[in-house]
Amino acid sequence: MGFFIKDLHEQIKEIYMQKKETEKLTLYRGQRMSIIDFEKLKNYQGGRFSFNCFLSTSRDRDISFLFADSARQKSNTVGILFTIEIDPSISTIPYASLKDISYYSKKQNAEEEILFSMHTIYRIGHIKQIDNNFWEVNLVLTNDNDVQLKLLTAHAREELGGADEKHALVPLLFKIGELKKAEEIAFALIQSTSELNLNDTMYYSFLSRTGEIRYNHSAALLYYEKALNIQENHPISNHSHLAATYMNTALAYVSMGDYAKALSFYEKAKTMQEEILPPIHPDLATCYNNISKTYSSKGQYKVALSFSEKVRHIREKNLPSNHYSLSSCYDQIALIYEKMGEYSTALLFYEKALNITQKLVPKNYHDIGTQYNNIGMTYYEMKDYSMALSYYKKALQNHKQSHFEVSSSVATVNNNMGLAYNLMEDLSKALLYHNTALDIIEKILPSSHPNVGIVYNNIGLDYYYMKDYSASIEYYKKSI
Protein backbone atom coordinates (compact mmCIF):
# COMPACT_ATOMS: atom_id res chain seq x y z
CA MET A 1 0.00 0.00 0.00
CA GLY A 2 2.89 2.35 0.84
CA PHE A 3 4.34 1.81 -2.66
CA PHE A 4 0.99 2.74 -4.25
CA ILE A 5 0.51 5.88 -2.11
CA LYS A 6 4.05 7.08 -2.82
CA ASP A 7 3.56 6.53 -6.58
CA LEU A 8 0.24 8.41 -6.45
CA HIS A 9 1.89 11.31 -4.60
CA GLU A 10 4.68 11.51 -7.20
CA GLN A 11 2.13 11.59 -10.05
CA ILE A 12 0.10 14.35 -8.37
CA LYS A 13 3.30 16.31 -7.76
CA GLU A 14 4.40 15.90 -11.40
CA ILE A 15 1.04 17.13 -12.75
CA TYR A 16 1.06 20.05 -10.30
CA MET A 17 4.54 21.15 -11.43
CA GLN A 18 3.59 20.89 -15.12
CA LYS A 19 0.38 22.92 -14.78
CA LYS A 20 1.89 25.67 -12.56
CA GLU A 21 -1.54 26.72 -11.31
CA THR A 22 -1.86 30.44 -10.54
CA GLU A 23 -5.64 30.88 -10.35
CA LYS A 24 -7.39 30.82 -7.00
CA LEU A 25 -9.81 27.92 -6.66
CA THR A 26 -12.87 27.18 -4.57
CA LEU A 27 -13.63 23.48 -4.26
CA TYR A 28 -16.41 21.52 -2.56
CA ARG A 29 -17.02 18.29 -0.76
CA GLY A 30 -20.46 17.21 0.47
CA GLN A 31 -20.60 14.46 3.06
CA ARG A 32 -22.50 13.26 6.13
CA MET A 33 -20.95 13.54 9.60
CA SER A 34 -22.12 12.29 12.99
CA ILE A 35 -23.48 15.01 15.29
CA ILE A 36 -20.79 14.14 17.87
CA ASP A 37 -17.96 14.57 15.32
CA PHE A 38 -19.51 17.79 14.02
CA GLU A 39 -19.65 19.25 17.57
CA LYS A 40 -15.94 18.44 17.92
CA LEU A 41 -15.27 20.19 14.59
CA LYS A 42 -17.12 23.33 15.77
CA ASN A 43 -15.07 23.37 18.98
CA TYR A 44 -11.84 23.37 16.93
CA GLN A 45 -12.80 26.37 14.77
CA GLY A 46 -9.58 28.17 13.86
CA GLY A 47 -7.60 24.97 14.34
CA ARG A 48 -6.20 22.55 11.76
CA PHE A 49 -8.06 19.78 9.95
CA SER A 50 -6.99 17.01 7.57
CA PHE A 51 -9.01 14.75 5.32
CA ASN A 52 -8.29 13.02 2.04
CA CYS A 53 -10.96 12.73 -0.66
CA PHE A 54 -11.89 13.88 -4.13
CA LEU A 55 -12.93 17.55 -4.25
CA SER A 56 -15.42 18.88 -6.76
CA THR A 57 -15.49 22.15 -8.67
CA SER A 58 -19.32 22.13 -8.56
CA ARG A 59 -21.05 23.50 -5.46
CA ASP A 60 -24.52 22.66 -6.79
CA ARG A 61 -23.58 19.03 -7.44
CA ASP A 62 -22.41 18.48 -3.86
CA ILE A 63 -25.41 20.24 -2.32
CA SER A 64 -27.68 18.06 -4.47
CA PHE A 65 -25.77 15.02 -3.27
CA LEU A 66 -26.34 16.01 0.37
CA PHE A 67 -30.09 16.47 -0.08
CA ALA A 68 -30.44 13.25 -2.07
CA ASP A 69 -28.37 11.36 0.48
CA SER A 70 -30.15 12.74 3.56
CA ALA A 71 -33.20 10.49 3.13
CA ARG A 72 -31.02 7.39 3.55
CA GLN A 73 -29.13 8.64 6.61
CA LYS A 74 -29.79 8.22 10.32
CA SER A 75 -31.11 11.11 12.43
CA ASN A 76 -27.83 11.34 14.38
CA THR A 77 -25.94 12.80 11.39
CA VAL A 78 -25.76 16.22 9.74
CA GLY A 79 -24.99 17.18 6.16
CA ILE A 80 -21.74 19.13 5.73
CA LEU A 81 -20.68 21.09 2.66
CA PHE A 82 -16.94 21.70 2.94
CA THR A 83 -15.93 24.80 0.96
CA ILE A 84 -12.18 24.77 0.37
CA GLU A 85 -10.26 27.87 -0.69
CA ILE A 86 -6.99 27.36 -2.58
CA ASP A 87 -4.46 30.12 -3.21
CA PRO A 88 -1.49 28.72 -5.22
CA SER A 89 0.56 31.85 -4.47
CA ILE A 90 0.58 30.94 -0.75
CA SER A 91 0.64 27.15 -0.69
CA THR A 92 2.84 24.75 -2.63
CA ILE A 93 1.02 21.59 -1.54
CA PRO A 94 0.53 19.57 -4.74
CA TYR A 95 -2.87 18.80 -6.23
CA ALA A 96 -4.08 17.61 -9.62
CA SER A 97 -7.21 17.91 -11.74
CA LEU A 98 -8.38 14.47 -12.84
CA LYS A 99 -10.40 15.88 -15.74
CA ASP A 100 -8.40 14.29 -18.56
CA ILE A 101 -6.36 11.61 -16.79
CA SER A 102 -8.60 9.42 -14.62
CA TYR A 103 -10.43 6.33 -15.85
CA TYR A 104 -13.78 7.98 -15.06
CA SER A 105 -12.97 11.12 -17.06
CA LYS A 106 -13.67 9.12 -20.22
CA LYS A 107 -17.24 8.45 -19.10
CA GLN A 108 -20.11 10.59 -20.31
CA ASN A 109 -21.01 13.51 -17.97
CA ALA A 110 -17.85 12.87 -15.96
CA GLU A 111 -17.24 15.13 -12.98
CA GLU A 112 -14.24 17.40 -12.88
CA GLU A 113 -12.55 16.45 -9.62
CA ILE A 114 -9.39 17.53 -7.83
CA LEU A 115 -7.17 15.23 -5.76
CA PHE A 116 -4.67 16.49 -3.16
CA SER A 117 -1.68 14.65 -1.80
CA MET A 118 -1.81 12.79 1.51
CA HIS A 119 -0.27 15.43 3.80
CA THR A 120 -2.77 18.21 3.03
CA ILE A 121 -3.80 20.28 6.07
CA TYR A 122 -6.56 22.91 6.19
CA ARG A 123 -7.40 25.65 8.68
CA ILE A 124 -11.02 25.61 9.83
CA GLY A 125 -12.64 28.95 8.98
CA HIS A 126 -16.25 30.03 9.40
CA ILE A 127 -19.02 27.51 10.06
CA LYS A 128 -22.58 28.50 9.18
CA GLN A 129 -25.96 26.80 8.85
CA ILE A 130 -27.28 26.77 5.28
CA ASP A 131 -30.52 24.84 5.89
CA ASN A 132 -32.17 22.73 8.56
CA ASN A 133 -29.65 19.98 9.45
CA PHE A 134 -27.21 21.23 6.77
CA TRP A 135 -24.05 23.23 7.44
CA GLU A 136 -21.26 24.87 5.43
CA VAL A 137 -17.70 24.62 6.76
CA ASN A 138 -15.06 26.85 5.22
CA LEU A 139 -11.55 25.36 4.97
CA VAL A 140 -8.40 27.22 3.89
CA LEU A 141 -5.37 25.32 2.59
CA THR A 142 -2.43 26.01 4.90
CA ASN A 143 0.89 27.46 3.94
CA ASP A 144 3.87 25.09 4.08
CA ASN A 145 5.45 27.60 6.48
CA ASP A 146 2.37 27.90 8.72
CA VAL A 147 3.88 28.79 12.14
CA GLN A 148 1.09 27.23 14.21
CA LEU A 149 1.23 24.03 12.17
CA LYS A 150 5.00 23.80 12.68
CA LEU A 151 4.53 24.26 16.43
CA LEU A 152 1.84 21.56 16.50
CA THR A 153 4.07 19.20 14.52
CA ALA A 154 7.02 19.85 16.84
CA HIS A 155 4.78 19.26 19.88
CA ALA A 156 3.49 16.00 18.38
CA ARG A 157 7.06 14.78 17.76
CA GLU A 158 7.96 15.70 21.35
CA GLU A 159 4.98 13.72 22.65
CA LEU A 160 6.23 10.73 20.65
CA GLY A 161 9.55 10.92 22.46
CA GLY A 162 11.33 12.86 19.71
CA ALA A 163 11.40 9.71 17.57
CA ASP A 164 12.61 9.89 13.97
CA GLU A 165 10.52 8.58 11.06
CA LYS A 166 11.74 5.02 11.52
CA HIS A 167 10.87 4.88 15.21
CA ALA A 168 7.74 7.09 15.30
CA LEU A 169 5.09 4.59 14.17
CA VAL A 170 5.08 2.43 17.31
CA PRO A 171 4.63 5.30 19.82
CA LEU A 172 2.04 6.89 17.51
CA LEU A 173 -0.04 3.68 17.39
CA PHE A 174 0.34 3.35 21.15
CA LYS A 175 -0.85 6.93 21.70
CA ILE A 176 -4.03 6.48 19.64
CA GLY A 177 -4.88 3.23 21.47
CA GLU A 178 -3.96 0.74 18.74
CA LEU A 179 -2.09 -1.43 21.24
CA LYS A 180 -2.29 -4.69 19.30
CA LYS A 181 -0.87 -3.10 16.14
CA ALA A 182 1.83 -1.29 18.12
CA GLU A 183 2.82 -4.56 19.76
CA GLU A 184 2.92 -6.50 16.46
CA ILE A 185 5.04 -3.88 14.68
CA ALA A 186 7.44 -3.42 17.61
CA PHE A 187 7.97 -7.18 17.84
CA ALA A 188 8.48 -7.49 14.06
CA LEU A 189 11.05 -4.66 14.06
CA ILE A 190 12.98 -6.27 16.94
CA GLN A 191 12.99 -9.61 15.13
CA SER A 192 14.21 -8.04 11.88
CA THR A 193 17.10 -6.09 13.46
CA SER A 194 20.31 -8.05 13.93
CA GLU A 195 21.85 -5.59 16.40
CA LEU A 196 19.64 -3.20 18.37
CA ASN A 197 20.92 0.33 18.99
CA LEU A 198 19.84 2.75 21.71
CA ASN A 199 16.92 4.14 19.69
CA ASP A 200 15.61 0.62 19.10
CA THR A 201 15.28 0.00 22.86
CA MET A 202 12.11 2.09 22.73
CA TYR A 203 10.43 -0.93 21.11
CA TYR A 204 11.06 -2.92 24.28
CA SER A 205 9.63 -0.04 26.28
CA PHE A 206 6.40 0.00 24.28
CA LEU A 207 6.10 -3.80 24.36
CA SER A 208 6.42 -3.52 28.14
CA ARG A 209 3.66 -0.95 28.34
CA THR A 210 1.24 -2.95 26.20
CA GLY A 211 1.97 -5.89 28.50
CA GLU A 212 1.21 -3.76 31.56
CA ILE A 213 -2.10 -2.58 30.16
CA ARG A 214 -3.09 -6.21 29.61
CA TYR A 215 -2.16 -7.04 33.23
CA ASN A 216 0.75 -9.19 32.02
CA HIS A 217 3.28 -7.57 34.34
CA SER A 218 5.86 -10.36 34.16
CA ALA A 219 6.02 -9.95 30.35
CA ALA A 220 6.38 -6.18 30.83
CA LEU A 221 9.31 -6.66 33.20
CA LEU A 222 11.01 -9.04 30.78
CA TYR A 223 11.04 -6.36 28.07
CA TYR A 224 12.17 -3.63 30.48
CA GLU A 225 15.10 -5.84 31.54
CA LYS A 226 16.11 -6.25 27.89
CA ALA A 227 15.96 -2.48 27.37
CA LEU A 228 18.00 -1.85 30.52
CA ASN A 229 20.58 -4.42 29.46
CA ILE A 230 21.26 -2.41 26.29
CA GLN A 231 21.03 1.05 27.89
CA GLU A 232 23.15 0.33 30.99
CA ASN A 233 25.95 -1.28 28.94
CA HIS A 234 26.06 1.29 26.16
CA PRO A 235 28.99 3.77 26.43
CA ILE A 236 26.96 6.74 25.13
CA SER A 237 23.63 5.85 26.70
CA ASN A 238 21.17 8.73 27.01
CA HIS A 239 20.75 9.21 30.77
CA SER A 240 17.28 10.71 30.46
CA HIS A 241 16.10 7.62 28.52
CA LEU A 242 17.73 5.31 31.07
CA ALA A 243 16.04 7.18 33.93
CA ALA A 244 12.71 6.83 32.08
CA THR A 245 13.21 3.05 31.77
CA TYR A 246 13.99 2.85 35.51
CA MET A 247 10.73 4.73 36.14
CA ASN A 248 8.71 2.43 33.88
CA THR A 249 10.23 -0.66 35.51
CA ALA A 250 9.28 0.74 38.92
CA LEU A 251 5.69 1.32 37.71
CA ALA A 252 5.49 -2.32 36.61
CA TYR A 253 6.57 -3.46 40.09
CA VAL A 254 3.97 -1.12 41.63
CA SER A 255 1.30 -2.80 39.50
CA MET A 256 2.46 -6.15 40.89
CA GLY A 257 2.33 -4.82 44.46
CA ASP A 258 6.10 -5.25 44.93
CA TYR A 259 6.72 -1.81 46.44
CA ALA A 260 10.25 -2.57 47.72
CA LYS A 261 11.55 -3.34 44.21
CA ALA A 262 9.59 -0.43 42.79
CA LEU A 263 11.26 1.95 45.23
CA SER A 264 14.72 0.58 44.40
CA PHE A 265 14.18 1.47 40.70
CA TYR A 266 12.61 4.83 41.57
CA GLU A 267 15.71 5.57 43.66
CA LYS A 268 17.95 4.83 40.64
CA ALA A 269 15.84 7.15 38.47
CA LYS A 270 15.83 9.86 41.17
CA THR A 271 19.59 9.71 41.69
CA MET A 272 20.24 9.96 37.96
CA GLN A 273 17.75 12.80 37.41
CA GLU A 274 19.06 14.80 40.38
CA GLU A 275 22.54 14.62 38.82
CA ILE A 276 21.55 15.78 35.32
CA LEU A 277 18.53 18.05 35.90
CA PRO A 278 18.08 21.42 37.64
CA PRO A 279 16.38 21.11 41.07
CA ILE A 280 12.98 22.41 39.90
CA HIS A 281 12.78 20.45 36.63
CA PRO A 282 9.28 19.01 35.87
CA ASP A 283 10.69 15.48 35.34
CA LEU A 284 11.90 15.49 38.94
CA ALA A 285 8.38 16.37 40.07
CA THR A 286 7.05 13.35 38.15
CA CYS A 287 9.62 11.08 39.81
CA TYR A 288 8.93 12.45 43.30
CA ASN A 289 5.18 12.09 42.70
CA ASN A 290 5.53 8.39 41.80
CA ILE A 291 7.70 7.78 44.85
CA SER A 292 5.12 9.54 47.04
CA LYS A 293 2.31 7.33 45.72
CA THR A 294 4.38 4.19 46.35
CA TYR A 295 5.18 5.14 49.97
CA SER A 296 1.50 5.98 50.44
CA SER A 297 0.55 2.50 49.19
CA LYS A 298 2.96 1.06 51.78
CA GLY A 299 1.27 3.10 54.52
CA GLN A 300 4.35 5.28 55.10
CA TYR A 301 2.38 8.51 54.91
CA LYS A 302 4.91 10.92 56.43
CA VAL A 303 7.56 9.91 53.87
CA ALA A 304 4.95 10.09 51.11
CA LEU A 305 3.97 13.59 52.24
CA SER A 306 7.60 14.78 52.19
CA PHE A 307 7.90 13.77 48.50
CA SER A 308 4.52 15.28 47.63
CA GLU A 309 5.63 18.57 49.18
CA LYS A 310 8.68 18.48 46.87
CA VAL A 311 6.31 18.01 43.93
CA ARG A 312 4.20 20.92 45.14
CA HIS A 313 7.29 23.16 45.47
CA ILE A 314 8.46 22.42 41.90
CA ARG A 315 5.04 22.81 40.31
CA GLU A 316 4.17 26.01 42.16
CA LYS A 317 7.52 27.46 40.99
CA ASN A 318 7.08 26.40 37.35
CA LEU A 319 3.35 26.60 36.70
CA PRO A 320 0.55 29.18 36.82
CA SER A 321 -1.70 28.91 39.89
CA ASN A 322 -4.57 27.37 37.91
CA HIS A 323 -2.55 24.67 36.09
CA TYR A 324 -4.03 21.16 35.89
CA SER A 325 -0.86 19.52 37.23
CA LEU A 326 -1.23 21.55 40.43
CA SER A 327 -4.76 20.19 40.81
CA SER A 328 -3.50 16.58 40.69
CA CYS A 329 -0.69 17.49 43.13
CA TYR A 330 -3.18 18.93 45.65
CA ASP A 331 -5.35 15.83 45.22
CA GLN A 332 -2.42 13.59 46.13
CA ILE A 333 -1.54 15.68 49.20
CA ALA A 334 -5.19 15.67 50.29
CA LEU A 335 -5.34 11.88 49.97
CA ILE A 336 -2.26 11.48 52.20
CA TYR A 337 -3.68 13.81 54.86
CA GLU A 338 -6.97 11.88 54.71
CA LYS A 339 -5.14 8.59 55.33
CA MET A 340 -3.27 10.24 58.21
CA GLY A 341 -6.63 11.17 59.75
CA GLU A 342 -6.09 14.92 59.30
CA TYR A 343 -9.43 15.45 57.60
CA SER A 344 -9.75 19.24 57.79
CA THR A 345 -6.37 19.65 56.04
CA ALA A 346 -7.37 17.00 53.48
CA LEU A 347 -10.60 18.91 52.70
CA LEU A 348 -8.60 22.13 52.29
CA PHE A 349 -6.41 20.56 49.58
CA TYR A 350 -9.31 18.73 47.92
CA GLU A 351 -11.16 22.06 47.61
CA LYS A 352 -8.06 23.73 46.12
CA ALA A 353 -7.81 20.92 43.55
CA LEU A 354 -11.52 21.14 42.71
CA ASN A 355 -11.40 24.94 42.28
CA ILE A 356 -8.60 24.61 39.71
CA THR A 357 -10.30 21.81 37.79
CA GLN A 358 -13.63 23.66 37.63
CA LYS A 359 -11.89 26.64 36.02
CA LEU A 360 -10.10 24.54 33.41
CA VAL A 361 -12.62 21.99 32.15
CA PRO A 362 -16.35 21.83 31.33
CA LYS A 363 -18.74 21.05 34.21
CA ASN A 364 -19.41 17.59 32.80
CA TYR A 365 -15.72 16.59 32.71
CA HIS A 366 -15.32 13.26 34.54
CA ASP A 367 -12.33 14.38 36.65
CA ILE A 368 -14.66 16.75 38.52
CA GLY A 369 -16.81 13.74 39.43
CA THR A 370 -13.74 11.94 40.79
CA GLN A 371 -12.89 14.96 42.96
CA TYR A 372 -16.45 15.17 44.29
CA ASN A 373 -16.13 11.49 45.24
CA ASN A 374 -12.82 12.16 47.05
CA ILE A 375 -14.41 14.94 49.12
CA GLY A 376 -17.38 12.67 49.85
CA MET A 377 -15.03 9.94 51.11
CA THR A 378 -13.36 12.42 53.48
CA TYR A 379 -16.72 13.41 54.96
CA TYR A 380 -17.51 9.70 55.23
CA GLU A 381 -14.36 9.17 57.29
CA MET A 382 -15.45 12.12 59.47
CA LYS A 383 -18.76 10.25 59.98
CA ASP A 384 -20.68 13.15 58.38
CA TYR A 385 -22.69 10.81 56.14
CA SER A 386 -25.22 13.37 54.90
CA MET A 387 -22.41 15.60 53.57
CA ALA A 388 -20.70 12.53 52.11
CA LEU A 389 -23.90 11.58 50.26
CA SER A 390 -24.34 15.11 48.90
CA TYR A 391 -20.89 14.94 47.26
CA TYR A 392 -21.44 11.37 46.05
CA LYS A 393 -24.65 12.52 44.34
CA LYS A 394 -22.72 15.38 42.67
CA ALA A 395 -20.17 12.83 41.48
CA LEU A 396 -22.86 10.57 39.99
CA GLN A 397 -24.52 13.52 38.25
CA ASN A 398 -21.19 14.55 36.75
CA HIS A 399 -20.41 11.03 35.50
CA LYS A 400 -23.88 10.81 33.96
CA GLN A 401 -23.36 14.11 32.10
CA SER A 402 -19.93 13.00 30.89
CA HIS A 403 -21.34 9.65 29.63
CA PHE A 404 -19.26 7.63 32.10
CA GLU A 405 -22.28 5.69 33.42
CA VAL A 406 -20.49 2.35 32.96
CA SER A 407 -17.03 2.83 34.45
CA SER A 408 -15.00 1.89 37.51
CA SER A 409 -15.42 5.48 38.79
CA VAL A 410 -19.22 5.19 38.76
CA ALA A 411 -19.07 1.75 40.37
CA THR A 412 -16.86 3.21 43.13
CA VAL A 413 -19.28 6.08 43.82
CA ASN A 414 -22.28 3.72 43.98
CA ASN A 415 -20.36 1.43 46.32
CA ASN A 416 -19.46 4.39 48.55
CA MET A 417 -23.08 5.55 48.63
CA GLY A 418 -24.13 2.05 49.67
CA LEU A 419 -21.66 2.14 52.58
CA ALA A 420 -22.95 5.55 53.72
CA TYR A 421 -26.59 4.43 53.61
CA ASN A 422 -25.63 1.26 55.49
CA LEU A 423 -24.16 3.27 58.35
CA MET A 424 -27.22 5.55 58.29
CA GLU A 425 -29.27 2.33 58.68
CA ASP A 426 -31.17 2.92 55.42
CA LEU A 427 -30.50 -0.66 54.34
CA SER A 428 -32.83 -0.81 51.33
CA LYS A 429 -30.98 2.11 49.72
CA ALA A 430 -27.64 0.63 50.73
CA LEU A 431 -28.53 -2.62 48.96
CA LEU A 432 -29.83 -0.73 45.91
CA TYR A 433 -26.56 1.19 45.43
CA HIS A 434 -24.35 -1.82 46.14
CA ASN A 435 -26.28 -3.88 43.55
CA THR A 436 -25.89 -1.02 41.05
CA ALA A 437 -22.14 -1.02 41.72
CA LEU A 438 -22.06 -4.79 41.20
CA ASP A 439 -23.97 -4.56 37.88
CA ILE A 440 -21.42 -2.05 36.56
CA ILE A 441 -18.30 -3.72 37.87
CA GLU A 442 -19.29 -7.16 36.49
CA LYS A 443 -19.50 -5.59 33.02
CA ILE A 444 -16.01 -4.10 33.07
CA LEU A 445 -13.91 -6.46 35.23
CA PRO A 446 -13.23 -10.22 35.17
CA SER A 447 -15.28 -12.17 37.72
CA SER A 448 -12.13 -13.00 39.73
CA HIS A 449 -11.05 -9.36 40.18
CA PRO A 450 -10.62 -8.34 43.88
CA ASN A 451 -12.90 -5.31 43.45
CA VAL A 452 -15.81 -7.63 42.59
CA GLY A 453 -15.13 -9.43 45.87
CA ILE A 454 -15.24 -6.14 47.80
CA VAL A 455 -18.73 -5.35 46.48
CA TYR A 456 -19.93 -8.90 47.26
CA ASN A 457 -18.70 -8.38 50.81
CA ASN A 458 -20.60 -5.09 51.14
CA ILE A 459 -23.82 -6.68 49.85
CA GLY A 460 -23.30 -9.45 52.40
CA LEU A 461 -22.99 -6.75 55.08
CA ASP A 462 -26.29 -5.17 53.98
CA TYR A 463 -28.10 -8.51 54.22
CA TYR A 464 -26.46 -9.17 57.60
CA TYR A 465 -27.93 -5.99 59.09
CA MET A 466 -31.28 -6.83 57.44
CA LYS A 467 -31.05 -10.13 59.37
CA ASP A 468 -31.24 -12.13 56.12
CA TYR A 469 -28.35 -14.35 57.22
CA SER A 470 -28.62 -16.98 54.47
CA ALA A 471 -28.28 -14.29 51.75
CA SER A 472 -25.49 -12.68 53.77
CA ILE A 473 -23.53 -15.95 53.93
CA GLU A 474 -24.07 -16.52 50.17
CA TYR A 475 -22.43 -13.17 49.30
CA TYR A 476 -19.64 -13.58 51.86
CA LYS A 477 -18.79 -16.91 50.22
CA LYS A 478 -18.76 -15.27 46.79
CA SER A 479 -16.46 -12.58 48.19
CA ILE A 480 -14.04 -15.16 49.60
The reported pLDDT for the residue numbered 109 is: 61
The reported pLDDT for the residue numbered 413 is: 95
Q: How far is CA 373 from CA 346, 348, 352, 392, in A?
A: 13, 15, 15, 5
Q: Own/partner pairs for 240-247, CB < 8 Å, 24+ apart?
A: 240/273, 240/276, 240/283, 241/198, 241/201, 241/202, 242/272, 243/268, 243/269, 243/272, 243/273, 243/276, 243/283, 243/287, 244/205, 244/269, 245/201, 245/205, 246/272, 247/286, 247/287, 247/290
Mean pLDDT of 111-133: 80
Q: Nearest CA to 315 among 286, 275, 340?
A: 286
Mean pLDDT of 183-207: 69
Can you list the domains of the chain with their CATH numbers?
8-143 (3.90.176.10)
pLDDT at 395 over 60: yes
pLDDT at 243 over 90: no
Mean pLDDT of 237-255: 82
- How much of the chain exceeds pLDDT 70, in percent? 80
Within 10 A of 68 (CB to CB), how many other CB atoms are there? 10
The reported pLDDT for the residue numbered 223 is: 76
pLDDT at 101 over 70: yes
418-474 pLDDT, tens digit each: 999 999 999 999 999 999 999 998 988 888 888 899 999 999 999 999 999 999 999
Lowest mean pLDDT among 123-137, 173-187, 277-291: 173-187
- How much of the chain exceeds pLDDT 90, in percent? 37
pLDDT at 213 over 60: no
More confident residue, 361 or 196: 361
pLDDT tier at 193 (50, 70, 90 boundaries)?
low
Q: How far is CA 60 from CA 57, 135, 139, 369, 417, in A?
A: 9, 14, 18, 48, 58
